Amino acid sequence: MQRRLPRGVAIALGAGLSLLIVATVVVGVWWWRAEHRPDLARAVSFAPASTERLSWTDWQAVRRSVGVDLSTRPSTDEVTAFLDEAFSQDLSTSSALVESAATLNAQFRFSPATLDWELLAQGPDGAVDILGFPDDTDFAALADNLESLGFTRPADEDGVWVGGADLLARIGPNLTPELQFFALLPDAGVVLTSDTQGYLEKAVSAATGESATLASLDDVVAAAGSPLVAAIFTGAYACEHLAMAAADDTDQAQAEELVRLAGGVHPMTGFAMATEASGQITVSMAFESEDAARQDADSRAALARGPAPGQGGAFTDRFELTSATADDQVVQLELAPLEGQYVLSDLTSGPVLFATC
């Protein structure tokens, strides 16, 4: 004879099963969204919360853009030729690894010629270079190679591999200090490097979800989409380092008048300048409100069509402004660089009038 559960138990089990199904669906949706985000957004999700400046390079996309198809173990000459071409197209200046590429390729068995992407995250207390590796990377072999080079293997899988300046000097020439310490996160498919052990430990804590990660730039990161290269700043960093604060008194006075004539500007909460596969530059600026964004779409467009105090000449010598739009709290300026102009590398250090505060 079939036995029935008491009514209260059956209801409780049913409710529990429903909660389990809902929880499973929620986790599944979160996982799908996390795995289907653009690489830039996913990379930023590993950065520590204190990060103020991000430098992004989608190495896979850069290789496609310059038309090279390299093996998993390219020669040093092939790596050098690829990076020379990327530099000529203003597609390598966001990377921390370019000068180190030849030694990386020969000794570490990876380089910008084989990485998927790179995100250099810098803050007031340190910097971490977050490296995205191909899906088929053998992290065990990568670890064994670090050990053979002289790095000290950590007790935990996601611990910090200790190297140091003296070790880098023994390995080979032109290695950036950012390669002194490593952390391998095979489940995420990323490697983190830094010039200080303590900061790398903090960065690993953020990347593994044990401490807070960067979220304040989500609006401009989402607006940037999937660029080849990008420079992304918090509003406070942009106001200090990119805007007109660094200009001399004469340029500041001219800038103040140009801003007044344009209708004024509001402070930004985030800033991104990104190079698309088409070669177009997208500038994204986030604001506290939709009203501020709508007003600044007009005023910053006017500034981007005028003189460039502190840079010299006019912005129209460098690019054509093709559109200026406001979407919710984000303003986007679309810039078409003129032939021979390196807009991204030139205008990601101040003073830049249309990025003023």
Q: Is the pTM of this model over 0.95?
A: no
Q: What is the pLDDT of residue 37?
A: 84
What does each of the 357 residues of the chain score in pLDDT, given as a tens digit? 444 444 554 444 344 434 333 333 333 333 333 457 899 999 999 999 999 999 999 999 999 999 998 888 999 999 999 999 999 999 999 999 999 999 999 999 999 999 999 999 999 999 999 999 999 999 999 999 999 999 999 999 889 999 999 999 999 999 999 999 999 999 999 999 999 999 999 999 999 999 999 999 999 999 999 999 999 999 999 999 998 887 899 999 999 999 999 999 999 999 999 999 999 999 999 999 999 999 999 999 999 999 999 999 999 999 999 999 999 999 999 999 999 999 999 999 889 999 998
Q: What is the pLDDT of residue 35?
A: 54
Q: Is 160 exposed, middle or buried (0-12, 13-18, 19+ CB in 10 A)?
A: buried
Q: For the range 176-185, what are the long-range contacts, defined as Cβ-Cβ under 8 Å and sequence gap of 24 or more?
A: 176/96, 176/97, 176/99, 176/100, 178/96, 178/97, 178/120, 178/127, 178/129, 179/100, 179/104, 179/108, 182/146, 182/151, 183/158, 183/159, 183/207, 184/139, 184/142, 184/143, 184/146, 184/157, 184/158, 185/158
Q: What is the pLDDT of residue 27?
A: 33
Q: What is the pLDDT of residue 72?
A: 87
- Residue for token digits 């004539």? 261
Q: Cα dist. 324→99, 234, 243, 307, 319 in Å?
A: 36, 21, 19, 18, 14
Q: Cα dist. 46→41, 55, 130, 206, 221 in Å?
A: 9, 14, 8, 6, 13
Mean pLDDT, the chain, as a whole number?
A: 91
Sequential DSSP letters for 33-70: HHHTS-HHHHHHTTSBTT--EEEEE-HHHHHHHHT---
